[in-house]
Structure 1
Amino acid sequence: MTERTERQVVRVAVVQSAPLLFDKADAIAKIASWTQAASKEKAKLVVFPEVFVSGYPRGLSFGTRVGSRSPEGREDWYRYWESSIQIPGADTELIGEIAKEAGVYLVVGVVERESGLSQSTLYNSIAYWGPDGTLLGKHRKLMPTGSERLLWGMGDGSTLSVIDTPFGRIGGLICWENYMPLARMAMYAKGIDILVTPTADARDTWQATLQHIAVESRCFVLSSNQYVTKESYPQDLAYYKDILNDPDILSRGGSAIVNPLGAYVAPPLFNKEGLLFGDLDMALVPKSRYDFDAVGHYSRPDVFQLRVNETSQETVTFKEKLLF
């Protein structure tokens, strides 16, 4: 292998696992163990699923019906709130130490707690760390899907983050954000080479989505999903009854790695925990854009234009009080 080729090829790892639901300590412990396992196999980038800290509460109603919320459901939600993290904060420093010890770029889906005065609203976010442990950025899900909208607030354009690395530019969209054509186009225009798509979608149709996006973006696509069983749910939840009649496997996974021409580097993993590895030849990104570049020679800015508002949206802003 030539020196040039060695610089172009990067090993990545996608984690398919799940923590104990609403258990932040367990989630961070699993981040440490999976990241170390990936690092031992020479991975330089490790991607975790959507809201890995501290779990995707699939199947739970939190006592919500149209027009009403129950006190018991609020208690379940409060446990979720307690297991969230602030960005930056003590928990992000702890995860940064995991990235530093392993010497990897680390991408983790988290439940983020608003750090403003309220500190009550939660967001579905991706956080990025560098191999020196530095927190490099975050992205908040722009549009929570369905009943997720009662759990998480909406992100804004200020967190459409792209991370520069020695092997290419990394950006991410979360789960069904990837069905938002304009969100995808905004990310493509930022020059991404690797698109991470943490998800909770385990359906066959998600695989078609990954392959389509890879071909459309001419990027490598790394999709990470949780493998979830009932055993990971606390049985003392007020609404544990919501999943009593569900199958033991609540999410079968389906994590995968796809190359810029739509072929699997690592085919989908179903019905078990595990690590997927891929040796990505980054030269394939420009090679694949020879005949299609969505924001380059195959775009028509004379016909189509997209405006993206990357301003942080604040409910209340204060001007400094003048002192006389």
Structure 2
Amino acid sequence: MTFKNIRVGVVQATPALFDLERSVDLVIAWIGKAAEAGCQFILFPESFIPCYPRGLTFDAIVGRRTDKGRAVWLDYWVNSLEVASAHTQRISEAIKKANVTVALGVTEKEPVGGTLYCTLLYFGNDGRLLGKHRKLKPTGLERYIWGESDGSTLVSFDSEIGKFGGLICWENYMPLARTALYQQGVELYLAPTADARDSWQTTMQHIALEGRCFVLASNQFVQKTDYPERYQADLADEPAIMCSGGSVILSPMGEVLAGPLWNQEGLLTADLDFSILAKSKLDFDCVGHYSRSDVFTLTVANQPPIQKV
């Protein structure tokens, strides 16, 4: 039996905050850099388009919303990505040209009604949009700006470069959501995030060991000065570096293959030997010989079967 060997890339970059056009330009540029580095698969951070609006309150407290907050919301809404759009088509064309598979974190604008979702878009190396995962449970005040998804977007894909799927940021703390992916045999586990704490590294290592999968974790690098001038006053009490990154790639045995990367932009790459996946199952397989399916079962409402691409 011949095992696959592939090169993957994790993008840690600064988004063009609140600027949809420039955001798309940046995505295309990073796709080109990753292709030049020989990557066959690329992961972008959570909500890279148009940004993760860290530090902004949208001028809301319990029981009160204001026109000032609605103006910030409108700014964010206008610059969020509608999937069926010329902007997405530009990204698809760049992906096809680069011949890479891409997972891209965006804030997605629902055309009917206008709700925003924190979404991970999946593109095949032919540029085709394979599907999307919408965040099941936004965290804390994220629930004010993003809607919730359901099991129908808890997707994974079986491709020539392996089986891949992911969860966004603190969804990765949901053990049943992780198990839903493990049950589909995910080999490349994707974790785009906005969490730059040291403890996130421990979480990623745990998932690699628990799922016996390669883990790709991607975060943004953002400084306060990257925000538009119109928001600088609102961020007066925020630190100079608002998100320090921490992107990382780990093996199924929890070994760090690349990163973590801190306080700068960059592209992490790693060559993955899929024979390690098989070796790692000798002593632990959470959905196989270590699962005790006679005692425990997990049923996921509306989750689609793994999609062959």
- Does the Cα contact within 8 Å between 1:167 and 1:282 map onto a contact in 2? no
Corresponding residue for residue 318 of structure 1 = none
Corresponding residue for residue 13 of structure 1 = 9
Is 1:78 aligned to residue 74 of structure 2? yes
Corresponding residue for residue 257 of structure 2 = 265
For residues 173-229 of structure 1, the C-alpha deviation after alignment (integer angstroms, 9 at most, x for no partner) is 000000000000001001110011000000000000000000000000000000001
Q: Which of 155, 161, 186 does residue 149 from structure 2 map onto? A: 155
Corresponding residue for residue 124 of structure 1 = 118
Q: Which moved more, 1:84-93 or 1:212-221?
A: 84-93
Whole-Å Cα distance in 2 between the matches of residues 31 and 20 of structure 1?
Answer: 10
SS in 1 for 2:141: helix
- Does the Cα contact within 8 Å between 2:20 and 2:79 map onto a contact in 1? yes
Whole-Å Cα distance in 2 between the matches of residues 88 and 279 of structure 1?
Answer: 33
Q: Which of 283, 286, 290 does residue 291 from structure 1 map onto? A: 283
- Cα deviation, residue 88, structure 1: 3.3
Whole-Å Cα distance in 2 between the matches of residues 226 and 139 of structure 1?
Answer: 19
Q: Which of 237, 247, 272 does residue 239 from structure 2 map onto? A: 247
Corresponding residue for residue 167 of structure 1 = 161
What does 1:168-247 correspond to in 2, within 5 Å?
168-237=162-231, 240-247=232-239
- Does the Cα contact within 8 Å between 1:50 and 1:56 map onto a contact in 2? yes
- Cα deviation, residue 268, structure 1: 0.4
What does 1:62-77 correspond to in 2, within 5 Å?
62-77=58-73
- Does the Cα contact within 8 Å between 1:22 and 1:54 map onto a contact in 2? yes
- Cα deviation, residue 114, structure 1: 1.3
Q: Which amino acid aligns with 1:280?
A: L
Whole-Å Cα distance in 2 between the matches of residues 296 and 208 of structure 1?
Answer: 24
Whole-Å Cα distance in 1 between the matches of residues 266 and 183 of structure 2?
Answer: 33
Unaligned residue ranges in structure 1 (runs of 5+): 313-324
- Cα deviation, residue 87, structure 1: 2.4
Whole-Å Cα distance in 2 between the matches of residues 101 and 75 of structure 1?
Answer: 38
Whole-Å Cα distance in 1 between the matches of residues 65 and 303 of structure 2?
Answer: 33
Corresponding residue for residue 32 of structure 1 = 28
Q: Which of 89, 97, 111 does residue 93 from structure 1 map onto? A: 89
- Cα deviation, residue 241, structure 1: 2.5
Q: Which moved more, 1:212-221 or 1:283-292?
A: 283-292
| Count of residue correspondences | 304
For residues 225-261 of structure 1, the C-alpha deviation after alignment (integer angstroms, 9 at most, x for no partner) is 0000112211124xx4331122211000000000000
- Cα deviation, residue 311, structure 1: 6.5
Percent identity, aligned pairs only, is 49
- Cα deviation, residue 290, structure 1: 1.5
Name the Cα RMSD after superposition.
1.4
Whole-Å Cα distance in 1 between the matches of residues 254 and 56 of structure 2?
Answer: 35
Corresponding residue for residue 302 of structure 1 = 294
Q: Which amino acid aligns with 1:301?
A: S
User: Could you list the runs of 4 or more consecutive aligned residues of structure 1 that deviate by over 3 angstroms after TM superposition?
Assistant: none
Q: State which structure, 1 or 2, has the greater radius of gyration over its C-alpha atoms.
A: 1
Whole-Å Cα distance in 2 between the matches of residues 48 and 84 of structure 1?
Answer: 16
Q: 1:251 to 1:261 in 2, by over 3 A?
A: same
- Does the Cα contact within 8 Å between 2:172 and 2:178 map onto a contact in 1? yes
For residues 264-299 of structure 1, the C-alpha deviation after alignment (integer angstroms, 9 at most, x for no partner) is 001200000000000011121121112111111110
SS in 1 for 2:230: coil
- Does the Cα contact within 8 Å between 2:153 and 2:303 map onto a contact in 1? no
- Does the Cα contact within 8 Å between 1:92 and 1:135 map onto a contact in 2? no
SS in 1 for 2:248: strand
User: Scaled by the length of structure 1, what TM-score is found?
Assistant: 0.91
